[in-house]
Amino acid sequence: MRINHNLSALNAWRQISLTNDSMRKTLEKLSSGLRINRASDDAAGLAISEKMRGQINGLNMAIKNSQDAISLIQTAEGALNEIHSILQRIRELAVQASSDTNTDVDRDSLQAEIDQLRSEIDRIARSTEFNTKKLLNGNLESFRASADGKVVNGGMINLTLNTVGTNAVDGTYLIEVGQFSGSATSALDARITLITAGGTTSKVVNFSSGVGTIGNVTLRWDGTSLTLSDFGSSLPVNEVVDAAVARIEGVNTTGNQLIFQIGANEGANMVSGIDAVDSKNLGLISSVVDVTSQDNAERTISVVDAAIHKVSTVRSQLGAVQNRLEHTIANLGVAVENLTASESRIRDADMAKEMMEFTKHQIIVQSGMAMLAQANTLPQNILQLLRG
């Protein structure tokens, strides 16, 4: 037996120190609610959970981005709704002016209101913005879904407007079928008027050829013949017997795009855009939207129909994007929920388990303290030998 080194007491003290260290870690977990408070707690788990946290934070921000994108779209759509109302009023005035029950003075008054309405369309297109970003002035029109022309209206005319190559001329195409060659006995003609922001271009082609070309846009008829009502052996000179309106929206690769970041990682975005809807880009230039005569008023109806169709198309595209974003938000919410659950399993403490461990450590510490006290009394037994 030795008195300089009480090995039993040293062993008990070492065990108490270890238990105290374990209880300290358990207390830290209980107070923070985290299973991993430092890298040494679980090095691999820390790395994995930090990567998950990055994804979770990114997905939460993507949800906010998508919600902001919906707000932007709703701002633009609200302005387009008002433009729609204005166009309907312009069409109503054009229909009124087409009747010869109106005098020239009456038509001048109708024209004055139309001019003011055109100016309001321009003001809306110029001033509508979201977070200082202009929405309807053409800065965001680089995204186009199609370069094919769509027939807006047409009576007996069966036609499709097809682009040639990729350099289609944007604009409204007014196709009028009648007799424009100055001779009542000539073949049927097609008068094509291209209306762009820069003005108008007109060309008359003889219908018997079957194909007429203006610029780089080809007008293709259904077969080589057109069935119209029987007008006898002659046609009224310079009179329109039927008309149709089509629009070409060329694919524009210049300008800006609307890029919405809808995911947590690079490339997780969607691209959209909004066409310009000012009066010129709608084909409502002053030389065309003219109701001061009966013939011009009738042509104005067709042109306004094309403008209404374009605004409807833009609103439809925006509505489709908004619906997509709403589904995106729902999907992102599910991803955030599941990633958070996985990250929680790695990072968060199981409070019941940690409380059980804490209680165990408490008991062990108390037991160790009792054994340390016993070990400290062992050297006193040597005194019995010294007394003998």
> Amino acid identity, residue 319?
G
Mean pLDDT, residues 64-86: 96
- The CB density around residue 140, as the number of other CB atoms within 10 Å, is 21
Q: What's residue 288's pLDDT?
A: 87
Q: Which of 1-15, 225-239, 268-282, 318-332 is most confident? A: 318-332
> Which secondary-structure segment (H or E) carries 269?
strand 269-272
Q: Over 181-246, what HEC string results? A: CCCCCCCCEEEEEEEECCEEEEEEEEHHHCEEEECCEEEEECCCCCCCCCCCCCCCCCEEEEEEEE
Q: What are phi and psi of 248, to 5 degrees?
A: -110, 125
Q: What type of residue sits at position 111?
A: Q
Residue % of the chain over a pLDDT of 70: 78
Q: Which of 85-89, 276-280, 337-341 has the lowest mean pLDDT?
A: 276-280
- Cβ neighbours of residue 112 closer than 8 Å, sequence gap 6 or more: none
State the average pLDDT over residues 358-375.
Answer: 87
Quote the pLDDT of residue 228.
Answer: 45
Pairing relationship of beta strands 217-221 and 239-248 according to DSSP bridges: unpaired
Amino acid at 373: A
* Per-residue tokens: 166: 């990729």
The residue-averaged pLDDT of 101-116 equals 94
Lowest-confidence segment of 88-102, 118-132, 175-189, 330-344 by average pLDDT? 175-189
pLDDT tens digits for 222-269? 443 344 444 445 555 666 766 777 776 655 555 567 889 999 998 889
| In the chain, alpha helices (H) | 7-32, 43-97, 104-127, 294-347, 351-377, 382-387
Q: Does 74 score more than 60 pLDDT?
A: yes
According to the model, what pLDDT value does residue 222 have? 41
Entry pTM: 0.75
217: Cβ contacts below 8 Å, ≥ 6 apart: 149, 161, 162, 163, 164, 168, 169, 173, 194, 248
**Tally of CB atoms within 10 A around 286:** 12
Tokens for 319? 């509505």
292 in Cβ contact with 107 (< 8 Å) = yes
| pLDDT at residue 249 in the model | 67
Q: Percentage of the chain with pLDDT > 90?
A: 37
Whether the Cβ atoms of residue 214 and residue 162 lie closer than 8 Å to each other: no
